[in-house]
């Protein structure tokens, strides 16, 4: 009986060691900054390829054997054909309905595969999504800031928990996964002092779908001057110069002005942009939309006229006051982010990963329209937190991080069709994003070295 405490300690040690071997191997990354290549002999990589084939079949089978692929695919083909035939992309005035709500550059890019027909276009878009999925996963792993090699199951876990978002990317034909891969590659390039390449990737993402331009304040605050200038310059080039030889400079400038007026320059209590019926409805979980639904008597079922009107506001203010509330909340979030960001001399690879995770959370919810698939951008924050949950030296921190991830996962599951849409109207995925960002903020303020006796020496400001 005297040996029972030591036996229990030995058993616990054996269990922890076994768990580390299975889930979180302790070996450091041989090349921590290089995303790994696809291995055809690795079972999980083969499973990844099989999933890509199935998702591509979801796109191609209805087009080849059915009545044609729906969702946004037919719109992409139409936009590409408009460029090939010299037709207009937008109506004559910004007050009319826009079928194509993106800047002219994406239509130019879509025209190339559209020249070969619908099947070729859909195959190209599916391949782009598959490549973006792979690099989103591998870049997230090497940029997680743990300097540890994840086991195959830990590497696969972020993919598994976000697979519903990936299905939406393939099924709808939306570019958000590709945009995330571009942004991650941009930050990976910035990490390697390739500022102009980073700026080009940020600009390309913004020229396709505007909301990634929100990276500019971050670059400004972190004094990434070359990346900041590069982003601005390349955005101008991609929007004004690249389409000019195909569309004509004056025509492209006019179309860009029409697009800006219709998508960015219009806003009222009825909505903003070109999809007013979606802006205030339950399908939009942006900070702007959820706040307006909470403070104004807005029908969150307005996207479907067949449903009875429903409101959920807790107070009743006018449109202008609601905008001031949104502005105040945005300012508080921005100032809070700045407050927790470590000073330049105290930055580490670990804190940079957590900082980037929070940035991607904020960029997602700051987009005026954030449908469910926009939250594909939570892939990186989830990956970072899974690394903390697996590798942090403090047992209570590992447990707390897993609990936070579980809470965020449960909140996101409430978006399944089994649950009433009012839950999404209240912003369940927005709340999940807040949980993830809050957990990342805690990790920034409580690095593991702060709990050790060597903290004072280890946390000395860097001279380089």
pLDDT at 458: 37
pLDDT at 276: 65
φ, ψ (nearest 5 deg) of residue 272: -145, 160
pLDDT at 194: 92
Which residue in the block uniquely carries the two structure tokens 């089994």?
418
Q: For the packed helices 379-391 and 118-142, what is the interaxial angle rounded to 10 degrees? A: 30
Burial (CB < 10 A; 0-12, 13-18, 19+), residue 384, is: buried
Burial (CB < 10 A; 0-12, 13-18, 19+), residue 84, is: middle
pLDDT at 461: 41
Under 8 Å between Cβ of 328 and 322: no
Q: Diameter of the chain by CA atoms? A: 89
pLDDT at 93: 79
H helices, E strands: number in the chain: 22, 2
Residue spans of beta strands (DSSP E) within 271-344? 271-272
φ, ψ (nearest 5 deg) of residue 45: -70, -35
pLDDT at 152: 87
Report how far Cα 305 is from the mean position of its chain's Cα atoms. Answer: 30
Helix (H) or strand (E) holding 455: helix 455-458
Per the DSSP assignment, residues forming a β-bridge with 271 are 268
Q: pLDDT tens track of the chain, all 464 residues? A: 444 444 444 444 443 444 444 344 433 434 557 788 888 888 899 999 999 999 999 999 998 988 877 788 999 999 999 999 989 998 887 777 788 889 999 999 999 999 999 999 999 999 999 999 999 999 999 999 888 888 888 999 999 999 999 999 999 999 999 999 999 999 999 999 999 999 999 999 999 998 899 999 999 999 999 999 999 999 999 999 999 999 889 999 998 988 888 877 676 666 666 666 678 889 999 999 999 999 999 998 888 888 888 999 999 999 999 999 999 999 999 999 999 999 988 899 999 999 999 999 999 999 888 889 999 999 999 999 999 999 999 999 999 999 999 999 999 999 998 999 999 999 999 999 999 999 999 999 999 875 454 444 334 443 33
Q: How far apart are CA 46 and CA 42, in angstroms?
A: 6
Per the DSSP assignment, residues forming a β-bridge with 69 are none
Nearest to 272 by CA among 213, 315, 210: 210
What's the token pair of residue 32? 């921590």
Q: Write down how long the chain is.
A: 464
pLDDT at 273: 64
Residue spans of beta strands (DSSP E) within 11-107? none
pLDDT at 25: 42
In three-state secondary structure terms, 19 is helix
């Amino acid at each position: 009986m005297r040996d029972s405490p030591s036996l229990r300690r030995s058993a616990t040690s054996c269990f922890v060691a076994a768990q580390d071997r299975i889930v979180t191997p302790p070996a450091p990354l041989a090349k921590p900054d290089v995303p790994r290549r696809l291995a055809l002999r690795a079972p999980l990589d083969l499973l990844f390829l099989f999933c890509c084939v199935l998702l591509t079949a979801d796109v191609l089978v209805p087009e080849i054997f059915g009545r044609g692929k729906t969702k946004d695919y037919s719109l992409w083909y139409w936009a590409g054909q408009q460029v090939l035939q010299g037709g207009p992309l937008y109506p004559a005035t910004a007050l009319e309905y826009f079928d194509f709500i993106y800047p002219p550059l994406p239509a130019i890019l879509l025209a190339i595969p559209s020249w070969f027909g619908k099947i070729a276009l859909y195959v190209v878009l599916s391949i782009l999504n598959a490549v973006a999925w792979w690099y989103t996963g591998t870049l997230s792993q090497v940029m997680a800031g743990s300097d540890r090699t994840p086991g195959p199951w830990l590497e696969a876990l972020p993919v598994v928990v976000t697979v519903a978002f990936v299905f939406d990317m393939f099924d709808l034909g939306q570019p958000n996964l590709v945009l995330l891969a571009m942004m991650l590659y941009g930050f990976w390039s910035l990490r390697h002092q390739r500022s102009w390449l980073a700026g080009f990737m940020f600009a390309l993402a913004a020229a396709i779908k505007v909301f990634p331009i929100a990276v500019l304040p971050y670059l400004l605050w972190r004094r990434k001057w070359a990346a900041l200038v590069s982003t601005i310059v390349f955005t101008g080039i991609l929007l004004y110069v690249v389409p000019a030889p195909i569309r004509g400079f004056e025509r492209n400038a006019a179309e860009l002005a029409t697009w800006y007026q219709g998508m960015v320059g219009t806003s009222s209590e009825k909505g903003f942009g070109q999809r007013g019926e979606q802006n205030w409805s339950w399908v939009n979980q942006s900070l702007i939309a959820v706040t307006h639904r909470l403070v104004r008597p807005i029908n969150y079922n307005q996207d479907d006229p067949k449903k009875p009107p429903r409101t959920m506001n807790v107070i009743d203010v006018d449109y202008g006051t609601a905008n001031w509330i949104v502005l105040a909340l945005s300012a508080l979030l921005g100032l809070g982010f700045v407050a927790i960001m470590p000073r330049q001399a105290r930055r580490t690879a670990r804190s940079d990963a957590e900082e980037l995770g929070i940035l991607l959370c904020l960029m997602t919810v700051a987009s005026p329209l954030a449908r469910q698939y926009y939250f594909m951008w939570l892939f990186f924050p989830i990956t970072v937190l899974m690394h903390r949950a697996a590798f942090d030296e403090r047992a209570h921190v590992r447990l707390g991080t897993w609990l936070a991830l579980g809470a965020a996962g449960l909140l996101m599951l409430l978006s399944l069709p089994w649950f009433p849409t009012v839950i999404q109207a209240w912003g369940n995925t927005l709340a999940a994003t807040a949980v993830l960002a809050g957990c990342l903020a805690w990790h920034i303020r409580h690095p593991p070295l702060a709990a050790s006796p060597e903290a004072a020496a280890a946390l000395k400001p860097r001279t380089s």
